[in-house]
């Protein structure tokens, strides 16, 4: 019995020893595993937090904008790097080929007398992309941020930017370049005149002609893809046979209908108590062949009618804003504005064509345009005092530019912006800039020709409006700087460019009262006074910080047959490139503070000179702005011919 107890005791002792060993082993492994986990966790924490600390205020590796690596850059450095890459990519222009010849378009059209008339064919807006790059991997979720950061290291993240192609401008420039190589298609038409002596219509058929037209759709798509990667290479242009939509035989069949249309004359157009008679001679000048739902018809051509009815009935007037006599910073007196009248030519013509079998008298349909300050009380509107002033100087401007500035100032003067209303400068100026609107042209280089374009001086208006809106503490909703520094708008960073269609300059009146713009010219200065009610806001603007100054490229000579052989006219001087930041701070009466920075990037611009030749070289005849050019690294290009007059009269079309 004793032996049995002894054996059981030994077994229990052995089991206890075994359990103790197992516990020790388990504890050892547990402690080891915990230590390993702690080490791994520590390393992971170090990797996550240390990595974030390593790139504090810098962009994480793997983030790209336009294929530009931004690894470890600050937002400022990234902006500079991307702008530099864009400038480098665009310095050789936009390249195309047509029938074996290369056509190169500068990224901006080249003005001959005024940098204001330049027009960007391609423009980048990288502001949102830079913000996105700086904020990449920095959300409120640690897990999501960690995954995003390491994913970017494995596969780069490409952020989108705003790319704006002036497709109409590019197509127009290409069309001008290849025009000598293409025969334009011509639609058949009728030329109708009334001979009072013979009391009959003289009808001439203008024959149709088959032609060739440039096809740019595919090229523009390819250009947009290239713009997205900053990898520009020649794009092949194609043309196609163009058939007229109105053929000679179609028009000839319609000749008898001309007399039927003329039989409706004379008839009378009326406006209020005025009457305007349309005789056969006038009606004959309006006749044309128009394509409609029922085929070709001889009728009144809408475009001819739109021009003709205004020549016949001079009844249109422009709405004139009311005026305030402002003296010593106070409103001295007030005069109400007058309404304007605009002819609705489409509706008027529709009424004539629908009823001229039953009537010989037709009303001219018009629309009334309400003026600003149409009898309203300035005190009720809150127009009490000057709340902001903007100025700019245009000394040295050529004649056409001065006249455009005066016209623009006149159209802005008297503008009334209600509380919460957004002001559009393009809309205020009329939306379109043509001779019919009173604007005068500036000459622009297109290919190897100089052609008139309207726009010189407009940015003097844009810049002055921008400066006044800033000083008044307005909310700026749309502003674009010039692509190049313009001497009229120094210091850099305080300018705003506008162009028909886009870009516009806009701001919102975020006060509780109306803003009245008193715009005028004093000597060579444009002065804008914003009148309203001082609501206690304090505004600080600038000064601008100008940095990253870059030297202009070498001077370029462009062959042209528009100048006498050997004559050289330097159309634009060189401009250094730069970046600028304009700080803007508004402290409102209730303690709120708004701060922002208006950033501007200016590309370097080479001096461009036109060189008169009897015949363009083969490359230049292709129409490219760089074809038939030479680069002059030093000295004045005009010295090559001894002509430094800069006289542009020889190239005015």
- Residue 647: pLDDT above 50? no
pLDDT (average), residues 601-612:
84
pLDDT (average), residues 604-621:
75
Report if residue 169 sits inside a domain: yes
pLDDT tens for each residue of 49-78: 677 788 888 999 999 999 999 998 999 999
Instruction: Return the pLDDT at 61.
Output: 92
- Please give the span between the terminal C-alpha atoms of the chain, in angstroms, as a whole number: 134
Report if residue 113 sits inside a domain: yes
Backbone angles phi, psi at 361, to 5 degrees: -130, 130
Q: Using 50, 70 and 90 to split pLDDT, how confident is the model at 449? A: low
Looking at per-residue pLDDT, the higher value among 80 and 430 belongs to 80
- Residue 538: pLDDT above 90? yes
- Cβ neighbours, 10 Å, residue 308: 18
Instruction: State the residue range of the domain holding 145.
Output: 63-184+213-242
pLDDT (average), residues 129-147:
88
pLDDT tens for each residue of 249-289: 888 888 888 888 999 999 999 999 999 999 999 999 999 88
Looking at per-residue pLDDT, the higher value among 317 and 456 belongs to 317
Q: In the chain, what percentage of residues exceed pLDDT 90?
A: 35
The answer to whether residues 335 and 375 touch, using CB atoms and an 8 Å cutoff, is no
d(C-alpha 157, C-alpha 153), whole Å = 9
Instruction: Return the pLDDT at 132.
Output: 92
The answer to whether residues 637 and 585 touch, using CB atoms and an 8 Å cutoff, is no
Backbone angles phi, psi at 425, to 5 degrees: -70, -40
Return the closest-CA partner of residue 408 out of 465, 340, 461, 466: 461
For residue 311 the two structure tokens come to 């020549």
At 220 the three-state DSSP class reads helix
Instruction: Return the pLDDT at 22.
Output: 64
Instruction: Return the pLDDT at 421.
Output: 93
For residue 93 the two structure tokens come to 């222009």
pLDDT (average), residues 232-241:
92
pLDDT (average), residues 207-222:
91
- Residue 205: pLDDT above 70? yes
d(C-alpha 58, C-alpha 107), whole Å = 32
Report if residue 422 sits inside a domain: no
d(C-alpha 602, C-alpha 104), whole Å = 21
Using the structure block, give the residue that is written with the tokens 């007229």.
244
DSSP letter for each residue of 359-420 = -SEEEPPEEEEPPTTSS--HHHHT--EEEEEEEEE-TT--HHHHHHHHHHHHHHTT-EE-TT
Instruction: Return the pLDDT at 290.
Output: 82
d(C-alpha 377, C-alpha 43), whole Å = 73
Least confident of 121-130, 275-284, 619-628: 619-628
% helix / strand / coil in the chain, to the nearest 5?
Answer: 35, 30, 35
Return the closest-CA partner of residue 185 out of 226, 118, 245: 245
pLDDT (average), residues 384-399:
88
Report if residue 468 sits inside a domain: no
- Residue 234: pLDDT above 50? yes
d(C-alpha 460, C-alpha 397), whole Å = 11
Q: In the chain, what percentage of residues exceed pLDDT 70?
A: 79
pLDDT (average), residues 482-486:
84
Backbone angles phi, psi at 388, to 5 degrees: -175, 145
Instruction: Return the pLDDT at 551.
Output: 86
Instruction: Return the pLDDT at 579.
Output: 92
Return the closest-CA partner of residue 67 out of 152, 156, 149: 156
d(C-alpha 163, C-alpha 124), whole Å = 5
Instruction: Return the pLDDT at 328.
Output: 63
Return the closest-CA partner of residue 283 out of 306, 260, 266, 268: 266
Q: Using 50, 70 and 90 to split pLDDT, how confident is the model at 175? A: confident
Computed over every residue of the chain, the mean pLDDT equals: 81
Report if residue 163 sits inside a domain: yes
Read off the DSSP letter of residue 266: S
- Residue 42: pLDDT above 60? no
- Total domains in the fold of the chain: 1
pLDDT (average), residues 569-597:
89
Looking at per-residue pLDDT, the higher value among 585 and 113 belongs to 585
Report if residue 569 sits inside a domain: no
Q: Using 50, 70 and 90 to split pLDDT, how confident is the model at 456? A: confident
d(C-alpha 612, C-alpha 607), whole Å = 17
Backbone angles phi, psi at 470, to 5 degrees: -65, -50
- Residue 392: pLDDT above 90? yes
Report if residue 112 sits inside a domain: yes
Instruction: Return the pLDDT at 5.
Output: 60
pLDDT (average), residues 535-556:
90
Instruction: Return the pLDDT at 453.
Output: 72
Q: Name the CA radius of gyration of the chain, rounded.
A: 36
Instruction: Return the pLDDT at 619.
Output: 54
Report if residue 634 sits inside a domain: no
Instruction: Return the pLDDT at 53.
Output: 81
The answer to whether residues 122 and 107 touch, using CB atoms and an 8 Å cutoff, is yes
Q: Using 50, 70 and 90 to split pLDDT, how confident is the model at 424? A: very high
Instruction: Return the pLDDT at 113.
Output: 56
Q: Using 50, 70 and 90 to split pLDDT, how confident is the model at 344? A: very high
At 450 the three-state DSSP class reads strand
């Amino acid at each position: 019995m004793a032996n049995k107890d002894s054996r059981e005791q030994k077994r229990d002792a052995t089991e206890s020893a075994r359990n103790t060993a197992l516990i020790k082993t388990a504890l050892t492994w547990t402690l080891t595993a915990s230590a390993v986990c702690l080490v791994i966790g520590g390393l992971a924490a170090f990797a996550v937090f240390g990595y974030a600390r390593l790139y504090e205020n810098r962009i994480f590796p793997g983030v790209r904008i336009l294929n530009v690596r931004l690894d470890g850059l600050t937002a400022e450095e990234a902006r500079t790097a991307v702008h530099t890459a864009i400038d480098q990519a665009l310095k050789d222009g936009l390249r195309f080929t047509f029938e074996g010849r290369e056509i190169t378009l500068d990224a901006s059209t080249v003005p001959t007398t005024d940098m204001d008339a330049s027009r960007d064919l391609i423009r980048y807006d990288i502001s949102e992309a830079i913000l996105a790059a700086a904020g990449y991997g920095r959300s409120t979720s640690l897990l999501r941020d960690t995954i995003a950061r390491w994913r970017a290291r494995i596969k780069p993240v490409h952020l989108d930017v705003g790319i704006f192609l002036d497709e109409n401008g590019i197509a127009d420039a290409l069309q001008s370049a290849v025009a000598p190589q293409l025969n334009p298609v011509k639609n058949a038409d009728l030329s109708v005149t009334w001979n009072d002596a013979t009391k009959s219509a003289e009808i001439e058929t203008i024959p149709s002609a088959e032609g060739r037209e440039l096809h740019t759709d595919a090229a523009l798509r390819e250009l947009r893809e290239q713009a997205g990667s900053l990898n520009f290479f020649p794009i092949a242009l194609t043309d196609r046979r163009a058939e007229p939509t109105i053929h000679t035989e179609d028009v000839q069949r319609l000749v008898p209908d001309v007399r039927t249309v003329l039989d409706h004359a004379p008839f009378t157009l009326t406006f209020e108590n005025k009457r305007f008679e349309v005789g056969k001679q006038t009606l004959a000048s309006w006749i044309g062949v128009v394509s409609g739902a029922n085929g070709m018809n001889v009728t009144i051509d809408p475009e001819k009618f739109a021009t003709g009815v205004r020549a016949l009935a001079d009844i249109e007037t422009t709405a004139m804003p009311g005026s305030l006599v402002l003296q010593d910073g106070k409103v001295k007196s007030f005069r109400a504005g007058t309404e304007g009248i605009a002819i609705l030519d489409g509706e008027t013509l529709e009424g004539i064509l629908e009823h001229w079998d039953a009537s010989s008298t037709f009303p001219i349909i018009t629309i009334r345009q309400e003026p600003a300050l149409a009898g309203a009380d300035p005190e009720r509107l809150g127009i009490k005092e000057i709340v902001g002033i903007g100025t700019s100087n245009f000394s040295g401007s050529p004649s056409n530019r001065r006249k455009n500035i005066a016209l623009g100032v006149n159209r802005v003067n008297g503008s009334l912006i209600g509380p919460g209303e957004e002001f559009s400068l393009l809309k205020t100026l009329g939306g379109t800039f043509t001779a019919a609107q009173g604007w005068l042209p500036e000459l622009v280089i297109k290919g190897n020709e100089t052609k008139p374009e309207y726009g010189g001086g407009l940015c003097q208006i844009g810049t002055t409006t921008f400066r006044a809106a800033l000083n008044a503490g307005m909310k700026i909703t749309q502003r674009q700087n010039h692509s190049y520094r313009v001497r009229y708008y120094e210091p850099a960073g305080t300018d705003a460019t506008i162009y028909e269609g886009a870009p516009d300059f806009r701001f919102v009146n975020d006060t509780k009262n109306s803003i009245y713009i008193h715009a005028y010219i004093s000597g060579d200065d444009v002065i804008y006074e914003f009148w309203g009610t001082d609501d206690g806001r304090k505004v600080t603007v600038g000064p601008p910080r100008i940095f990253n100054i870059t030297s202009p490229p070498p001077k370029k000579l462009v062959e042209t047959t528009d100048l006498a052989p050997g004559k050289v006219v330097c159309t634009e001087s060189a401009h250094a490139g730069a970046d600028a930041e304009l700080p803007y701070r508004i402290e409102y009466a209730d303690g709120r503070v708004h701060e922002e920075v208006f950033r501007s990037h200016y590309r370097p611009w080479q001096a461009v000179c036109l060189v008169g030749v009897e015949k363009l070289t083969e490359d230049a005849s292709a129409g490219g702005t760089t074809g038939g050019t030479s680069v002059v690294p030093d000295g004045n290009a005009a010295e090559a011919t001894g002509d430094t007059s800069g006289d542009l009269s020889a190239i005015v079309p």
